[in-house]
Amino acid sequence: MFSQKISIRKCRDSDYRFIYDISKRNMEFYVKKHWGGWNPKNFKEGFNKDNIKVIEYKGKRIAFYDTELKGKCLYLHNLQITFSLRRKGLGRFLTALIEKGAKKKGLNKVKLRVFKDNPAKNFYLKLGYKITGNKKGSLSMERKLA
């Protein structure tokens, strides 16, 4: 559904508010529950536009992902999708695209962290990710790339 209709581009300074808003909307509940509260200053300090790709659909920003290369692994720090477009295959499509890009670069796995009570945990398990650790209310997960 999405493969021919979306565009993926590098993050610009002007995307900060979109990324902040979608992250807060999707994650504030979990951040408050497990870490005590949402902190705009921490978000801004952790924001690195060089690692972020913005996804557009029909000219509108609908999602973003944040990755970082470390050794032979790609770390997926964040994948956030606009609420109205969840459960329509976009997350699966983007994850496959991220994995394909990592494989092309010769990387052997994708790693991520997810709050253990976030439904995204089950999403990643269905995609073949394995739980490799449990710390501070979140799970480490990884998928080896064939």
What is the pLDDT at residue 93?
92
Residue 28 has pLDDT above 60, yes or no: yes
Q: What is the tens place of the pLDDT at every residue in 40-94?
A: 898 888 888 999 999 998 889 999 999 999 989 999 999 999 988 788 888 899 9
Q: Please give the share of the chain, as a percent, with pLDDT higher than 70.
A: 97
Residue 100 has pLDDT above 60, yes or no: yes
What is the pLDDT at residue 40?
86
Please, what are the domains in the chain?
A: 6-144 (3.40.630.30)
Q: What is the pTM of this model?
A: 0.88
Whole-Å CA distances, 112 to 47, 61, 66, 94: 17, 23, 11, 14
| Beta strands 109-115; 52-57: pairing state | unpaired
Residue 146 has pLDDT above 90, yes or no: no
